[in-house]
Chains A and B, each alone.
Chain A
Amino acid sequence: MPERTVLQQADIARALTRISHEILESNRGADGLVLLGIPTRGVVLARRIAALTGEFSGSAIPAGSLDVTMYRDDLSRGRVRTPSPTEIPPGGIDGAVVVLVDDVLYSGRTIRAALDALGDIGRPRAVRLATLVDRGHRELPIRPDFVGKNLPSSQHERINVRLTETDGAEFVSIEGGEAA
């Protein structure tokens, strides 16, 4: 199975910088924004984007995590999934513009679960979606607002995202797919 790196550390940093600027631009500043990462790597990305937007706008956007395990539509298939903590920033999400952050956008089912989870926690003014990689193959009418890299892929291929905080290495690679 050939594995080929598509984003290096510098590419990831550039993509996150651009996403941070785009989030600030579309919101006309950092007011009323909340970043919620989807475990595991989305949480890391949300924290990094929060730090970057703090650098660019002077006021740091609160960042937290949103676990979607209990809202998945495939809980009765496969292995038992253990949940991760959900940490909502102290200000809550009512009336805020929530930006969901995930590493890879694929079928869209995780985001569907995240929207349901959000609904049980509060009522945001708007929900946006930022993703490091969009690999296509959507199964639901969901579309990202901020994308690091569009990566057209075959469904036989695997996209690996590795981040320093969680994996001790930093790259995005694409694996397999000779069957395509």
Chain B
Amino acid sequence: MRHLLSTRDLTRDDAVAILDVAEDMADVSTREIKKLPALRGKTVVNLFFEDSTRTRISFEAAAKRLSADVINFAAKGSSVSKGESLKDTAQTLAAIGADAVVVRHGASGAPQVLATSGWIDAGVVNAGDGTHEHPTQALLDAFTIRRRFFGTDARGRDLAGLSVVIVGDVIHSRVARSNAWLLTTLGASVRLVAPPTLLPVGVNTWPVTVDYSLDDSLAKPADVVMMLRVQGERMNAAFFPNAREYSRLWGLDDARLAGLGEGTIVMHPGPMNRGLEISSGAADSARSTVLEQVSNGVSVRMAVLYLLLSGEREDLA
């Protein structure tokens, strides 16, 4: 693996291989010494042009557990605020000797540009680009689902036969996009539920089905209910009348939680707007995997960094 830019590039076997390596990484996290020497001497740069808590910390923890050196870069307080371009920032990092660049950027496609422009020859991991993709989030979601449903028997398996409902702000959600591709690649069936204003144009070309009513959709069998964050910061138009109406029609409240089938799990990529898309009752219930998703995130990112940075570097394509 040279870069991880999109879950669309992953085949079923690639994805299962990443999840299997993540299982081994998760075993390490249960030990007293949570460290492996695999990436000793490698430098990982976290290049974050957008705010993030869990993704940046998660990548940092993952790189450090593999003994890599980590450089954190936040656009705030850097020369980017003086007007430095992505190219100059990237080349500065290359000059420092970065082996991998984990990039989050507000513009969709920025990681793709970094990976293909020839500015740097480091491996690029997309940690969220605009409203495009967030592949490691989808991988950790798939990992969490696989662990919840198959437990210790999870290795080597995909998600065939499971049905996943993704609810909410799909149009702004890179998590929804990455999950739609990855989960269907792994054999799960994906339903999107959202008001029509929060569905992107062209959703009919995605490998998913679409429902507009949450109650109708939850009346059908669902193994996983994934609630998306309502991304207020990206909403520059009236996508729904008001928060109360959104919550009543598309939020996972305590009544809908109680109506879920036995064994159905509730996921949320975080940060949660409690009371808007998810009630506190749902977020803190035994069905909720929110905290598991965070700890699994470290294992999955360790797997991605390991697969990206070990082995002979392939020639630039």
Question: Residue A81 contacts which of B35, B66, B311 (CB distance < 8 angstroms)?
Answer: B311
Given the interface pairs A70-B37, A116-B37, A120-B31, the reply to whether A80 lies near B307 with Cβ below 8 Å is yes
CA distance A84 to B37 in the complex (A): 16
Contacting residues, chain B, for A84 (C-beta < 8 A): 24
The reply on A86 being an interface residue by CB < 8 A is yes
Given the interface pairs A84-B24, A85-B27, the reply to whether A70 lies near B36 with Cβ below 8 Å is yes
- Across the interface, do A76 and B312 meet the contact criterion of CB distance under 8 Å? yes
The reply on B273 being an interface residue by CB < 8 A is no
The reply on A28 being an interface residue by CB < 8 A is no
- Across the interface, do B37 and A71 meet the contact criterion of CB distance under 8 Å? yes
Contacting residues, chain A, for B31 (C-beta < 8 A): 120-121
Given the interface pairs A67-B24, A85-B24, the reply to whether A78 lies near B33 with Cβ below 8 Å is no
Give min CB distance, A110 to chain B, whole Å.
15
Question: Residue B311 contacts which of A67, A79, A85 (CB distance < 8 angstroms)?
Answer: A79
- Across the interface, do B24 and A80 meet the contact criterion of CB distance under 8 Å? no
Contacting residues, chain A, for B310 (C-beta < 8 A): 75-76, 80-81
The reply on B203 being an interface residue by CB < 8 A is no
- Across the interface, do A70 and B307 meet the contact criterion of CB distance under 8 Å? no
What is the interface of chain B mostly: helix, strand, loop, or mixed? loop
Instruction: Tally A-B pairs: CB < 8 A.
Output: 48
CA distance A71 to B35 in the complex (A): 11
Contact with A along B20-40 (1 / 0, CB 8 A): 110110010001110111100
- Across the interface, do A82 and B311 meet the contact criterion of CB distance under 8 Å? no
- Across the interface, do B27 and A75 meet the contact criterion of CB distance under 8 Å? no
The reply on B218 being an interface residue by CB < 8 A is no
The reply on A83 being an interface residue by CB < 8 A is yes
The reply on B1 being an interface residue by CB < 8 A is yes
CA distance A47 to B197 in the complex (A): 60
The reply on B155 being an interface residue by CB < 8 A is yes
CA distance A54 to B20 in the complex (A): 32
Contacting residues, chain A, for B66 (C-beta < 8 A): 70
Interface size class of A (residues with CB under 8 A): 20 to 34
Contacting residues, chain B, for A121 (C-beta < 8 A): 31, 33
- Across the interface, do A82 and B20 meet the contact criterion of CB distance under 8 Å? yes
Given the interface pairs A85-B27, A86-B27, the reply to whether A78 lies near B20 with Cβ below 8 Å is no
- Across the interface, do B20 and A80 meet the contact criterion of CB distance under 8 Å? no
CA distance A85 to B312 in the complex (A): 23
The reply on B61 being an interface residue by CB < 8 A is no
Closest partner residue, chain B, to A85 (CB atom): B24
- Across the interface, do B24 and A83 meet the contact criterion of CB distance under 8 Å? yes
Contact with B along A115-153 (1 / 0, CB 8 A): 010001110000000000000000000000000000000
Contacting residues, chain B, for A70 (C-beta < 8 A): 36-38, 66, 306
Which residues of B296-317 have CB atoms within 8 Å of chain A's CB atoms? Answer: 306-307, 310-312
Contacting residues, chain B, for A78 (C-beta < 8 A): 311-312
Contacting residues, chain A, for B1 (C-beta < 8 A): 80
Interface centre among B1, B35, B306 (most CB of A within 10 A): B306
Contacting residues, chain B, for A69 (C-beta < 8 A): 38
Which residues of A58-93 have CB atoms within 8 Å of chain B's CB atoms? Answer: 67, 69-71, 75-86
CA distance A75 to B99 in the complex (A): 14
- Across the interface, do A86 and B312 meet the contact criterion of CB distance under 8 Å? no
CA distance A78 to B314 in the complex (A): 10
The reply on B17 being an interface residue by CB < 8 A is yes
Closest partner residue, chain A, to B1 (CB atom): A80
CA distance A116 to B21 in the complex (A): 20
Closest partner residue, chain A, to B36 (CB atom): A70
CA distance A84 to B1 in the complex (A): 19
CA distance A92 to B312 in the complex (A): 35
- Across the interface, do B27 and A120 meet the contact criterion of CB distance under 8 Å? no
6 nearest A-B residue pairs (beta carbon) = A80-B311, A70-B36, A70-B38, A120-B33, A83-B24, A75-B310
Q: Which residues of A contact B (CB under 8 A)?
A: 67, 69-71, 75-86, 116, 120-122
8 A–B pairs (Cβ distance < 8 Å), ordered by A: A76-B310, A76-B312, A80-B307, A82-B17, A83-B24, A120-B35, A121-B31, A122-B32
